[in-house]
């Protein structure tokens, strides 16, 4: 699998690929399978690590032949570009070999402390990251920013992994994060060359100040492996919102820029709400458990498990909405309390993922005037009031809610047996 060059203009990826069977939610629960499948139950998965792998392995091999999946067209190992399916749709090729080189990165933003301290902990004691068929590599992505407890030193590291920047000639005056991006590209990629030595998967850990619970950022509906991983995490963590956000806007031809884009595949995890510069034990523990479950999923896959098709509710990024501003560019208002604050049983809970209708108030100006949403259809705002997005002129992201059909994830064959 490799989605590092998936942005080529000829490939209209998820807008064609994703079969939207419903908008605005429906009767099917996110992650609910379309048919009885071979994926181990959450209960089985939570019952001890060794047993879990064996169970996954056994289940994979005990499945009826009809549920075994034929590898998709264009899914050869080493293929570096999304390939059109026979129906003209694109997808990231699913892995044809076990995932051996997996990285878990924290501190890509130095003031998002769950990932910073998990990375530091794992660098001292990486035992939690070991699985029978692989050991994930912990990486503190931006140590200088973490030491200063700032998002970044010179520029946003997680916007710096474009081909253009990574292959540019280094100079002594380069911003700190450009130098660091090149280092990480050498460690986890390289992205530009499409080399086989790139990591198989990068899981990048973030926090948000928005009330987004657990949000799994997947580049698009074409990324079958990441969506199966997301569904696995949703089933493991049913007690808090665990949503999938497809980050690439429709028809976007933008170059990928995030840290996980240097590897063959990857995903970003956002947990919130947590202020910048704060470490909350509840969110730290949830992130730690999410990473463990993600590695368990990769182990199941490596051991030969197959995962059936399913439908999934996702939110797809439609772009950012800026704050009202003064003529000199400063804020003229703030997110409207009706958009942000839901009063519920004497406690406040913010309104990420909730429908926003045209004409509803979205900002409150300091003068007292309301600013209404002028879109022509219902959207579902996320990243409402994310601290780091003020400078990016984004008060929230508009998304649409879709049901997508995710194809099966076929089992590896033959089953790998490497035990570390």
Note the residues at the interface with its own copies (CB under 8 A): 117, 120-121, 149-150, 209, 273-282, 284-285, 330-331, 334-337, 340-341, 344-349, 364, 366, 385, 387-388, 390-391
Closest approach of Cβ 177 to its own copies, in Å? Answer: 17
Closest approach of Cβ 111 to its own copies, in Å? Answer: 8
Closest approach of Cβ 395 to its own copies, in Å? Answer: 10
CA distance 297 to 394: 34
Closest CA to 268 of 281, 278, 279, 257: 257
179 phi, psi to nearest 5 deg: -60, -45
| Residue placing its CB nearer to its own copies in the complex, 199 or 383 | 383
| Residue placing its CB nearer to its own copies in the complex, 273 or 416 | 273
| Residue placing its CB nearer to its own copies in the complex, 283 or 409 | 283
Q: What's the half-sphere exposure (Cβ side, CA atoms, 13 Å) at 17? A: 23
CB proximity list for 414: less than 8 A, separation 6 or greater: none
Pairing of β 347-350 and β 310-321: unpaired
| Residue placing its CB nearer to its own copies in the complex, 151 or 228 | 151
| Residue placing its CB nearer to its own copies in the complex, 8 or 369 | 369
User: Is residue 147 within 8 Å of residue 168, measured between CB atoms?
Assistant: no
Closest approach of Cβ 397 to its own copies, in Å? Answer: 16
Closest approach of Cβ 340 to its own copies, in Å? Answer: 7
Using a 10 angstrom Cβ sphere, with 0-12 exposed, 13-18 middle and 19 or more buried, the burial of residue 328 is exposed
CA distance 34 to 36: 7
User: Is residue 178 within 8 Å of residue 156, measured between CB atoms?
Assistant: no
Closest approach of Cβ 366 to its own copies, in Å? Answer: 5
Closest approach of Cβ 129 to its own copies, in Å? Answer: 14
CA distance 43 to 238: 12
| Residue placing its CB nearer to its own copies in the complex, 61 or 176 | 176
Burial 87-101 (b: 16+ CB within 10 A, else e): eebbbbbbbeebbbb
Task: Give the Cα-Cα-Cα angle 168, 169, 174 (nearest 5 degrees).
Answer: 90
| Residue placing its CB nearer to its own copies in the complex, 14 or 350 | 350
Closest approach of Cβ 387 to its own copies, in Å? Answer: 4
| Residue placing its CB nearer to its own copies in the complex, 114 or 265 | 114
| Residue placing its CB nearer to its own copies in the complex, 204 or 386 | 386
Closest approach of Cβ 59 to its own copies, in Å? Answer: 31
SS3 category, 293? helix
| Residue placing its CB nearer to its own copies in the complex, 91 or 385 | 385
Using a 10 angstrom Cβ sphere, with 0-12 exposed, 13-18 middle and 19 or more buried, the burial of residue 266 is buried
CB proximity list for 79: less than 8 A, separation 6 or greater: 2, 93
CB proximity list for 66: less than 8 A, separation 6 or greater: none
SS3 category, 229? helix
Closest approach of Cβ 46 to its own copies, in Å? Answer: 18
């Amino acid at each position: 699998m490799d989605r590092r060059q998936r942005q080529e203009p000829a490939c209209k990826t998820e807008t064609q690929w994703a079969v939207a069977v419903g908008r605005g939610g429906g009767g099917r629960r996110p992650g609910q399978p379309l048919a009885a499948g071979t994926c181990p139950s959450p209960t089985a998965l939570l019952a001890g690590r060794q047993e879990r792998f064996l169970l996954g392995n056994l289940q994979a091999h005990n499945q009826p032949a009809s549920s075994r999946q034929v590898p998709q067209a264009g899914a050869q190992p080493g293929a570096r570009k999304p390939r059109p399916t026979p129906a003209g749709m694109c997808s990231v090729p699913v892995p044809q070999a076990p995932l051996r080189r997996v990285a878990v990165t924290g501190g890509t933003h130095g003031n998002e402390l769950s990932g910073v301290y998990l990375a530091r902990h794992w660098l001292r004691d990486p035992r939690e990251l070991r699985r029978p068929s692989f050991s994930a590599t912990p990486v503190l992505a931006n140590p200088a920013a973490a030491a200063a407890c700032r998002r970044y030193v010179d520029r946003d590291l997680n916007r710096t992994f474009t081909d253009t920047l990574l292959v540019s000639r280094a100079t002594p005056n380069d911003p700190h994060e450009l130098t660091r991006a090149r280092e990480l590209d050498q460690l986890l990629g390289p992205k530009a060359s499409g080399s086989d030595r790139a990591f198989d998967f990068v899981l990048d850990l973030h926090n948000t100040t928005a009330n987004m619970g657990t949000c799994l950022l997947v580049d698009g509906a074409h990324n079958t492996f990441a969506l199966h991983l997301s569904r696995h995490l949703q089933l493991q963590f049913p007690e808090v919102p665990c949503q999938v956000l497809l980050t690439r806007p429709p028809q976007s031809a933008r170059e990928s820029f995030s840290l996980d884009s240097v590897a063959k595949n990857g995903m970003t995890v956002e947990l919130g709400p947590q202020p910048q510069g704060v470490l909350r034990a509840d969110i730290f523990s949830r992130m730690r458990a999410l990473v463990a479950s993600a590695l368990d999923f990769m182990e199941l896959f490596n051991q030969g498990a197959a995962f059936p098709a399913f439908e999934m509710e996702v939110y797809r990024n439609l772009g950012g909405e800026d704050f009202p501003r003064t003529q000199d560019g400063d804020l003229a208002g703030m997110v409207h309390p009706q958009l942000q604050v839901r009063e519920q049983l004497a406690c406040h809970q913010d309104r990420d993922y909730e429908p926003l209708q045209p004409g509803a108030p979205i900002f409150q100006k300091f003068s007292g005037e309301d600013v209404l949403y002028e879109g022509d259809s219902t959207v579902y705002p996320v990243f409402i009031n994310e601290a780091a997005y003020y400078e990016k002129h984004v008060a929230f992201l508009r998304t649409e809610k879709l049901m997508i059909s995710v194809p099966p994830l076929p089992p590896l064959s033959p089953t790998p047996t490497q035990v570390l």
